[in-house]
Structure 1
Amino acid sequence: MLLKGERTFVVRDAGGFVAHINMPGWLKPKPTDHGQGPLAMVVESILDPGHQIAMHEHRNDEIISWVPDGVMRHDDRAAGRLVIDRDHLMVMNAGVSFWHSEETLASDPPLRMLQILVRPYAVDLEPKIQHGPMPAAAANVWRHLVGPEGEGAPFYVRSAIDFFDMRLDAGLRVEFPQKQGRDLYFYVFSGSVVVDKQTFVEGEQGLHLSDDKLEVEAQSASTLVAFLLDPNASITRQGTVGDHKKIPPAIIIRAFLRWRKFRHIWRRHLSHRRSKTEKAI
């Protein structure tokens, strides 16, 4: 089953820093969790030049920072200053505690990136930081960037999830990555694609609750990310961001989604009635 999510309605605007927060679990018709297994959330972050997010603490989150557009300047008490851009990736395995800040210089281009919050398999693990060049990208081929610790991916998280990216040329079709027993979640960072006869544009997302083959075709030049995740993996839900206490419980989201569906149907009904009235006149 392929579930489609439109551009998220959860947006945090802090003036110069805007976060579009995507909850994979909310794509389900009757959500029971904002995340899907080990994937807590995918945040599209936009930081204007010359802005800083001051030093702050993370606990029990594994955070992947993927920057296809712009430059993100990171500072922490362990590794010091690091630069993440289209050629470099960072994974912050926060564990028991990790402090860091983020900023852009006034001379930097606008920053648009993804910050991916992954749930670890245990709480209070040893804090670590990974930073380095990504493998060279091949045109129209999925690039494997992050996987479970010890399984050979260039970067790792302490959870049962794999992360891929790809730039797909217009008119081309490829298969999504597959792994037995894994669900697929994907996010369209730019462009427009068709998956299972459904169109997904920039900022939209899909959740495939199966390990069956699935193909994607680009209607325009597109950049996508994909995750293979074990929905039954051992996870913890104590991340300071990925499982923040202010995230609404599932029962409230189910009620909101039902209301939004009813509102859409009602608006279509009113539009249809107005159209009939205008024709009669």
Structure 2
Amino acid sequence: MDKSSSTQTLSFIHTAPRTDISQNQGKFRIHFNFPGRAVPNHDDHGYGPLATVVESFMDPGTLIRMHQHRNEEIISWVPDGVMRHDDRQGNNLITDPEHLMVMNAGSGFWHSEETLADDPPLRMLQIFVRPHSLGLEPGIQHEPIPDPIAGDWRHLFGPEGTDAPLFVRNDVDFYDCQLAVGDTVTIPSRAGWHTYLYVFDGAVDIGDTSVGYTEGALVADDNDVIVTATEDSMLVAFNMNPEAPVTRQGTIGR
């Protein structure tokens, strides 16, 4: 039977409900999604180079004061609204639906985040990737990204040397996709790599497995797997090498 059949039970897919691991700091709230916890008996909260995917909320008029990250790659993906960034390297940057930011923290990078009083409420993802080595050169990338095309994956970051607009220093490719109800798309794949899919908005079916709002699925296979939207949906996908060398000394992700 074709593994992409919508009526097939796919044994290589592990799903995770909405996380119950969160922190509430009033105007700033975060929910930690750990891809490794979707897999039974997996001894790591992360999965290979992907440490955690954090759903972050900032109310208007919120300041997260200057703080340091080390030994992790931090990606800010903002599908709506604005996130304002300041750092000790003199950058004042706005990340929004038209821009993506990657902090390659390396040996140490100081930054702050802010929303102004007249900014809209912010809901975004902050993605923590484990680098392949400790003490790398710190830096920041802030680039325009291609306009989305409904029903197609948009490649936003990847390992150094790929055609993605931004890079991280390990084997992870990141994509997003908007699907209308009833539309289908094939999960990004590469030989020997696995994919973590997260439903930012909406709901989908993967075979006969339903994955809803803010739920995740770890696809531990590199064959073509089809996703069908059961609601209008916004998806993100991390295609990664589960055997990549990783470090686990990041400030947040570890």
TM-score by length of 1: 0.85
Residues 67 and 114 in structure 1, CA contact (< 8 A), matched pair in contact too: yes
1:162 is matched with: 173
Give the whole-Å Cα distance in 1 for the aligned partners of 2:185 and 2:194. Answer: 18
Does the residue aligned with 1:156 lie in a helix, a strand or coil?
Answer: strand
1:62 equivalent among 58, 67, 73: 73
1:114 is matched with: 125
1:217 and 2:223 equivalent?
A: no
Question: 1:159-238 alignment to 2 at 5 Å?
Answer: 159-238=170-249
- Larger gyration radius, structure 1 or structure 2: 1
1:139 is matched with: 150
Residues 143 and 165 in structure 2, CA contact (< 8 A), matched pair in contact too: no
Corresponding residue pairs, total: 243
Question: 1:36-55 alignment to 2 at 5 Å?
Answer: 36-55=47-66
User: Which structure would you say has the larger RCO, counting Cα contacts within 8 Å and 6 or more residues apart?
Assistant: 2
Counterpart residue identity of residue 192, structure 1? A
Give the whole-Å Cα distance in 1 for the aligned partners of 2:227 and 2:146. Answer: 23
Does the residue aligned with 2:79 lie in a helix, a strand or coil?
Answer: strand
1:7 and 2:14 equivalent?
A: no
Counterpart residue identity of residue 31, structure 2? H
Q: CA deviation at 1:212?
A: 1.4
Higher helix share: 1
Shift >2 Å, 4+ stretches = none
Counterpart residue identity of residue 202, structure 1? Y
Q: CA deviation at 1:139?
A: 1.2
Residues 151 and 179 in structure 2, CA contact (< 8 A), matched pair in contact too: yes
Residue range with higher mean Cα deviation, 83-92 or 192-201: 192-201
Residues 79 and 129 in structure 1, CA contact (< 8 A), matched pair in contact too: no
Q: CA deviation at 1:79?
A: 4.3
Which segments of 5 or more consecutive residues in structure 2 lack a partner in the other structure?
A: 1-11
2:36 is matched with: 25
Residues 203 and 211 in structure 2, CA contact (< 8 A), matched pair in contact too: yes
Counterpart residue identity of residue 75, structure 1? D
TM-score by length of 2: 0.94
Deviation readout 1:219-245 (Å, 9 max, x if unpaired):
1110000010100001111101101xx
- Aligned-CA RMSD value: 0.8
Residues 187 and 226 in structure 1, CA contact (< 8 A), matched pair in contact too: yes
Residues 130 and 253 in structure 2, CA contact (< 8 A), matched pair in contact too: yes
Q: CA deviation at 1:174?
A: 1.2
1:98 equivalent among 103, 109, 113: 109
Question: 1:240-259 alignment to 2 at 5 Å?
Answer: 240-243=251-254
1:80 equivalent among 59, 66, 91: 91
Does the residue aligned with 2:36 lie in a helix, a strand or coil?
Answer: helix
Percent identity, please.
53
Which segments of 5 or more consecutive residues in structure 1 lack a partner in the other structure?
A: 244-281
Q: CA deviation at 1:31?
A: 2.2
Does the residue aligned with 1:26 lie in a helix, a strand or coil?
Answer: helix
Deviation readout 1:228-264 (Å, 9 max, x if unpaired):
0100001111101101xxxxxxxxxxxxxxxxxxxxx
1:273 is matched with: none
Give the whole-Å Cα distance in 2 for the aligned partners of 1:48 and 1:180. Answer: 42
Give the whole-Å Cα distance in 1 for the aligned partners of 2:90 and 2:172. Answer: 25
Residues 30 and 54 in structure 2, CA contact (< 8 A), matched pair in contact too: yes
